[in-house]
Amino acid sequence: MIQQGTSLFRKTSFAFFAAGFNTFAILYCVQPLMPEFSKEFAVSPTTASLSLSITTMVLAVSMLVFGSLSEVWGRKPIMIVSMLASSVFCILTAFSSNFHVLLVMRTIEGISLAGLPSIAMAYLGEEIESKSLGAAMGLYICGNSIGAVFGRVFSGMMSDYFGWQIAIGGIGLISLAATLVFWNTLPPSQNFEARPFVMRKLGLSLMDHLKAPSLICLFVIGFILLGSNVALFNYIAYVLLEKPYSLSQSHISWTFLIMIIGMFSSVWTGKLIDRHGKQRLLFTSLFLALIGVCLTWEANLMMKIVGLGFFTFGFFGAHAVASSWVGQLALQNKAQASSLYLFFYYTGSSVGGTLGGMFWSAYGWGGVISMNVGFLLIGFILWACVSKMVQNAKKVTKIA
């Protein structure tokens, strides 16, 4: 097992930092470009949002497949092919002649991107010593966050000066470099054992997780969280482009630096879980996200930015608690339960992004806020349900 402090640990951690950067830079680079797509291709904001929604949808479905295939074909080969293919298709996306071609390319990217996040945690769990796993996972998640922020800021600024084609092509080239780093740095698997692919067992274990009410509540909370996040950040760009703000694309792209708050929020929340419990922290995180959404209703630009900050802090905190709670409540096949959570999580991105566009077209920014408030209120109901079920289970265990 790879231990912290060794050269192998540094190589592995750096490789997964590059991998997380690659995946999330490609995934989210189109978010600040949606107003550009509306102008360039004469499509509505709802249609422009498909450039992200369709990618996350096929990513969610493909993750279930790639995670199972890696049990047969191995971890590193699939991750390398995934990163290489997604980088190449990102570059090719820059040459899209119309919006339909762009959507086809983004669909292929969603499939190719799925090979990394569905396998990364399995590789780290198999190869890294348990005492060193937290540090390695933290660097991987840090790569995710920095990639997501960089992809948004870089594409927004480059688009303002050179056009969206150069912006997306630039992200593809940078991601290609990250792929080569990953390829050359990541050690081959030492503890992987190939297993036969049995579809029936996979299906039965999936159904077992979907029969657990507490897990379903957490899955839907994940759906709500990313759905709210994507809807909020998709359409805030349209708001800030209009009067009275009239911000440039590059200025708007800097608002995505707020996502850096999530790096601190998730770590801070993780440290407090043992002291205050998942129930209290999930409620607090949802409440902060709700306050943030409501603050973005204010016309004052600074108050809008503050609202985005509150929402981002609450979003990442709630995601950290909900995802870790899934691992605790799943008694068997924990990796598969986590994959299901991520499936709902990314599906929420697709649904929330597109549905938010409908509310934006019909009711403006107030409609987007109303949709997000409704989502988060459902989140509170689900929080109450899962808390009650966990408390009842504890009572039954004590009686037994």
Residue 227's pLDDT is what? 94
- Looking up tokens 């770590």, which residue turns up? 267
Residue 126's pLDDT is what? 78
On whether both 136 and 207 belong to a single domain, the answer is no
Q: Which of 179, 220, 197 is nearest to 88 (CA)?
A: 179
Residue 71's pLDDT is what? 66
Distance of CA 380 to the CA centre of its chain: 21
| 265 or 202, which is more confident | 265
Where does the pLDDT of residue 223 fall: very low under 50, low under 70, confident under 90, or very high at 90 and above? Answer: very high
On whether both 1 and 76 belong to a single domain, the answer is yes
Inform me whether the pLDDT recorded for 398 exceeds 70.
no
| 331 or 128, which is more confident | 128
Inform me whether the pLDDT recorded for 116 exceeds 90.
no
On whether both 255 and 184 belong to a single domain, the answer is no
Domain enclosing residue 286, as ranges = 200-399
On whether both 152 and 234 belong to a single domain, the answer is no
Where does the pLDDT of residue 44 fall: very low under 50, low under 70, confident under 90, or very high at 90 and above? Answer: very high
On whether both 191 and 204 belong to a single domain, the answer is no
Residue 399's pLDDT is what? 56
Out of 128-132, 281-285, 342-346, which region has the weakest mean confidence (pLDDT)?
A: 128-132
On whether both 205 and 320 belong to a single domain, the answer is yes
Please count the other Cβ atoms lying within 10 Å of the Cβ belonging to residue 257.
Answer: 12
Residue 134's pLDDT is what? 61
Q: What is the DSSP string of 112-150?
A: HHTTTHHHHHHHHHHHB-HHHHHHHHHHHHHHHHHHHHH
Cα dihedral 65/262/166/238 (nearest 10): 100
Inform me whether the pLDDT recorded for 394 exceeds 90.
no
CA distance 231 to 49: 9
CA distance 204 to 328: 20
Inform me whether the pLDDT recorded for 397 exceeds 60.
no
On whether both 134 and 88 belong to a single domain, the answer is yes
On whether both 180 and 302 belong to a single domain, the answer is no
Taking residues 112-121, what's their average pLDDT? Answer: 82
Residue 343's pLDDT is what? 87
Residue 136's pLDDT is what? 74
Taking residues 223-240, what's their average pLDDT? Answer: 92
What percent of the chain clears pLDDT 90, i.e. is strictly above it? 49
| 124 or 218, which is more confident | 218
Residue 69's pLDDT is what? 72
Where does the pLDDT of residue 65 fall: very low under 50, low under 70, confident under 90, or very high at 90 and above? Answer: confident
Dihedral pair phi/psi, residue 284, rounded to 5°: -60, -45
Per-residue model confidence as pLDDT tens digits over 134-169:
667 667 777 778 888 899 999 989 998 899 999 999
On whether both 173 and 320 belong to a single domain, the answer is no
Residue 333's pLDDT is what? 63
Inform me whether the pLDDT recorded for 309 exceeds 80.
yes
On whether both 161 and 12 belong to a single domain, the answer is yes
Residue 3's pLDDT is what? 79
On whether both 205 and 169 belong to a single domain, the answer is no
Inform me whether the pLDDT recorded for 273 exceeds 80.
no
pTM (predicted TM-score): 0.81
Inform me whether the pLDDT recorded for 335 exceeds 90.
no
On whether both 145 and 262 belong to a single domain, the answer is no
Residue 139's pLDDT is what? 72
Per-residue model confidence as pLDDT tens digits over 82-108:
999 999 999 999 999 999 999 999 999
Residue 180's pLDDT is what? 95
Inform me whether the pLDDT recorded for 56 exceeds 80.
yes
User: Domain with 360 in it: what CATH number?
Assistant: 1.20.1250.20
Domain end marker among 170, 197, 224? 197
Residue 222's pLDDT is what? 93
Inform me whether the pLDDT recorded for 396 exceeds 70.
no
Taking residues 325-348, what's their average pLDDT? Answer: 78
CB-based contacts of 135: which residues, under 8 Å, 6+ apart?
A: 4, 13
Residue 1's pLDDT is what? 80
Domain end marker among 134, 165, 197? 197
Residue 203's pLDDT is what? 64
CB-based contacts of 188: which residues, under 8 Å, 6+ apart?
A: 76
Domain end marker among 197, 232, 249? 197
Average pLDDT over all residues of the chain: 86
Domain total in the chain: 2
Residue 137's pLDDT is what? 66
Taking residues 67-91, what's their average pLDDT? Answer: 85
Provide the 8-state DSSP code for 196.
-
